[in-house]
Chain A
């Protein structure tokens, strides 16, 4: 009996001491400067950048890592007491949603407006893109040639029947691509496009972007629609077979003669109730700086948003491309319509 009591007391003490409440606002005014980052990005280079920021500015970076949807949910529930300073997502649609839900605040920063081009940030200054990713067509080099490819729309042609690999419609990158279709071509044409892709699919959608490329390499189909940085990751994978898959892939930027290839950004905004607002701004400014942008590009194979920074040599070897200049806020606004259309045509 005594044993149990002692154990109980110990656990109680432990819980109490480890959970002594500390005020976020109070801490911010104290000596240790900090910034609380809610991020959907979980790449090793990010961690490197955070450490660099800590060293350079003497501001500690606290990270909460989860999907953007979950983080927004957390911020919504926490309300005015939320400790969040910065929200980072992997697509503009989610940032737009955060803005609409009044989770972000307007930032006036000359550094940011200089570093981030107009179409890659929010018109009102609620959020700023940090890295660009483009959703492209990859093809099996031994079976398909560049001149067979032209646009996203052309993928619905008969010649690609049973040849296309693409993941499920639950994926945000597909939803954004569909939203761009709706914005550019209207709902009706976009729905026809989705139905056409569905008809041409080599198999029912499953797995990740990498899995689509593996299936292309294995001959399940000839083409896949994926984000560019996954090709980079395959090429530098620790697994020799994944590297081999990467080497078999050719990259094609569609719609070059028209509106340009669909792009999206991973970006950040300052939380509405940020207890460390000044630090939050410094943090985002730092991520848009040339030094940080170079790391994004070289270690994570994303395109820098900062025009002063050149993409890494690997990215350059894929060629320069014309990007769809559609305002990224539109993608967020049309996200829901995109999902509804996917369901109606039966794209799982």
Chain B
């Protein structure tokens, strides 16, 4: 029986080849960047090392740790409360908790800066409503403020993965703990939480990658991070080599984090029995406890979503007549379908890679299949270079070939077309769909498939007919995350979008780069509203 655990070698080879092909295709941009590690940095490296690096590195590390701790608290606790207890408005709160995801995080940063600005909403309320003579100014624009803003806009990554684990996987463990006499809190703390680690860490990794790759918010808040060094060496010091070198190092760091997480997990593969998919029975605590729980879940929502939303609605209301035009609807539509296509492609690829790795005998294939997730850690502009270099080689080759053999002068197929844009998005956001799907596939384990395999069902069929339905929630949450991220994406959109297509984020950028922050609010509101649709749908499906 054990020898039949894997399919025969011929099938395995086909799958391996396909995996390698996909990894090469998606990995080409990353490899382009990683290869630069070997060519070394430019001459401004010494300058950067002497004057900037240490400071910037410390800032980045601080942000990474601070945001990790905050997002863990903000994500895991509410996830446990909404999964394990029942209290008023629980259903509503549990989907409101995802909403900060719909905000581009540079926008949360702007909104917070606006709220606590001199004569911002906060100070005006204090003066006008509470009649205070002197309001002490809250300076949000600093490293602590940045950590705060980032944590409140990124915690849903942790929340989503933790919640999907708690609500569908922890029933069995909780019952066992209860039989053995442990209280609910103890069971959570000593059994459920450790088991949830892979899921939570997957979400956390996204947070860390997002924090390290951010430039816009940090720049605005005057905090110099590692990414600042990348931009500085590239654009101010005119040395792309050094910038790419720095990005390659960032890639290696993320790779190190991923490998470390894997080895900490120690190759343990948790599989849960079918009872696991049963939903956790919710306990109804005493009413004052219910009120506390409600309050605890409301905090991340109000600070991560409602507060910045108030500022954005205020801005949108004063700039509406200036910014609104009917062309807005077509902009919404192009953002929407670009994000849909990207989401679809990303989950297909992630699903295939993870599934193929799971059934592969080869350790190399298993390792290779995680490589494409690195795209998320690299700042958008840098990944844009990684994308442009190989795709332009391909495009130019094609143009020259058709010119030479067919005497037909064609344009680029990838660059400046939707294909190129969607490809770029997929390279960048694969990681976002990868983690929820990976967690989900790990949870389902091998039992159903082994049974099907014994019955002679082919691997393709097993993937499509058994695994897709079993991992529906994982796939959907992957798709959702990619969707909202694509809606918000900026540098790749600007550089690679075809003429005549406008997206909401590009529209918002037009104003932001002109320091007309208030005018960005209307396109931002549309980004948020368009993001709400899939969030709402996903939440319903997760509850089924």
Contacts and interface: CB of A to CB of B under 8 A. Distances in A.
Interface of A: 1, 4, 11, 14-15, 18-19, 21-26, 36, 42-43, 62-67, 69-70, 73-74, 77-79, 81, 83, 97, 168, 170, 175, 204-211, 214-215, 217-218, 220, 230, 233, 237-239, 241-242, 245, 335-336, 339-340, 343-344, 346, 348
B521 to A, nearest CB: 11
B418 A19 contact: yes
B156 to A, nearest CB: 27
Contact of B417 (A14, A21, A64, A67): A21
10 contacts: A15-B341, A42-B514, A70-B495, A170-B228, A170-B231, A170-B236, A206-B221, A242-B518, A339-B236, A340-B47
A63 B223 CA distance: 32
Nearest to A63: B499
Interface in B483-507: 491, 494-495, 497, 499-500, 506
B418 A343 contact: no
A23 B403 CA distance: 11
Nearest to A37: B499
Contacts of B240: 73
A21 B231 contact: no
Interface of B: 47, 51-52, 113, 117-119, 137, 141-142, 219-224, 228, 231-232, 234-238, 240, 315, 318-319, 322, 341, 344, 381, 384-385, 388-389, 392, 395-396, 399, 409-413, 415-419, 422, 464-465, 491, 494-495, 497, 499-500, 506, 509-511, 513-518
Nearest to B496: A74
Contact of B235 (A22, A26, A69): A69
Give 5 nearest A-B pairs by CB, closest first. A206-B222, A218-B118, A66-B494, A42-B510, A62-B499
Contacts of B491: 66, 70
A21 B410 contact: yes
Given A69-B234, A168-B219, A207-B113, A43 B418 contact: no
Nearest to A72: B235
Nearest to B417: A19
Contacts of A336: 236-238
A217 B464 contact: no
A95 to B, nearest CB: 14
Given A70-B494, A170-B236, A207-B141, 20 more contacts: A11-B344, A19-B417, A24-B411, A64-B497, A65-B510, A66-B494, A69-B235, A73-B385, A77-B389, A78-B392, A81-B396, A168-B222, A211-B117, A214-B118, A237-B518, A238-B319, A335-B238, A336-B236, A340-B47, A343-B51
Contact of B506 (A43, A62, A65, A67): A65
A20 B510 CA distance: 28
A211 B109 CA distance: 14
Nearest to B320: A238
A21 B414 CA distance: 9
A237 to B, nearest CB: 8
A233 B413 contact: no
A78 B393 CA distance: 9
Nearest to A230: B515
A64 B416 CA distance: 10
A77 B516 CA distance: 31
A65 B503 CA distance: 12
B426 to A, nearest CB: 12
Contacts of A21: 410-413, 417
Contacts of A66: 491, 494-495
Contacts of B141: 206-207
Nearest to A241: B119
A81 B399 contact: yes
Nearest to A61: B499
Contact of A238 (B219, B228, B322, B416): B322
Contact of A348 (B220, B224, B465): B224
A345 to B, nearest CB: 9
Contacts of A230: 515
Nearest to A206: B222
A74 B51 contact: no
A70 B117 CA distance: 31
